[in-house]
Homo-oligomer: A and B are copies of this chain.
């Protein structure tokens, strides 16, 4: 397996590998249930603020802005544990999610499963009840 750095994979130095856009991929899971709540990104500043405050900060690619999770909705994430993967280009956050992680008002962003149906895959809603009405929460 060429191209793997021993220091990055086996060392104790935290060396997050930001991509060309300056981001690492983050997976947030519910510390209690293990469910995946969301996949998002952090830049260096979001990561520093997350570590310093114990609350999840991300970087929104669509809004091109640093973002404290729940700053508008109140649906914050308290970080229980952060892990990094072998090549340190992804982070796993185990969090205590207040309310809903998804901007659609659902607990998790992953509220639809992929169902193969005769060669064509379609979606089926699952665990999709809304905990809040996004129309009430996000007023612009």
Contacts and interface: CB of A to CB of B under 8 A. Distances in A.
A84 B103 contact: no
B25 A29 contact: no
A123 to B, nearest CB: 5
A27 to B, nearest CB: 5
A85 B27 contact: no
A76 interface: no
Contact of A3 (B3, B62, B83, B134): B62
How many monomers of this chain does the complex have?
Answer: 2
A89 B27 CA distance: 13
Interface residues of A, number: 50
Interface string A27-49: 10100011110110000000000
Given A9-B104, A34-B34, A35-B34, A112 B84 contact: yes
A104 B138 CA distance: 44
A92 interface: yes
Most chain B C-beta atoms within 10 Å of own C-beta, residue among A10, A11, A85, A140: A85
Most chain B C-beta atoms within 10 Å of own C-beta, residue among A3, A38, A103, A110: A110
